[in-house]
Amino acid sequence: MAYYIIKLKDGKEYSGEINKWRPYLNWFSIFSSEGDNKFCFDNIKEAYSNEERISINSPPEGERVDLLERAREDLKLAREHGWYLNDGFTKDTPLFDWEK
């Protein structure tokens, strides 16, 4: 699993592996030394990993993965394909502020 660095707008910094990924609900959580931490995308300044191999063409040392960009792409696809309909998320769900 990839190890992520999360920097919040208030200056706090956390790190750990993703536990739950819920961009359509505007949050995700990580496992960390402080336990399970839940983060609202609205409060995040940046979240990234420098060591993730995301494809067969990735360098052996991995590459940078931006979680905000990943979440934007996931939500774009969710709107296009109707994912998460049971949770009230549809193609007409407005963009979150951090998506703009």
Contact 77, 83 (CB under 8 A): yes
| Higher-confidence position of 98 and 59 | 98
Structure confidence by residue, pLDDT tens digits, 38-74: 999 999 999 998 777 767 887 887 788 899 999 999 9
**DSSP result, the chain:** ---EEEEETTS-EEEEEEEEEEGGGTEEEEEETTEEEEEEGGGEEEEEEEEE--STTS-TT-EEEEHHHHHHHHHHHHHHHTTTGGGT--TTSPPPGGG-
Where along the chain do its domains lie?
4-99
Its pTM surpasses 0.75: yes
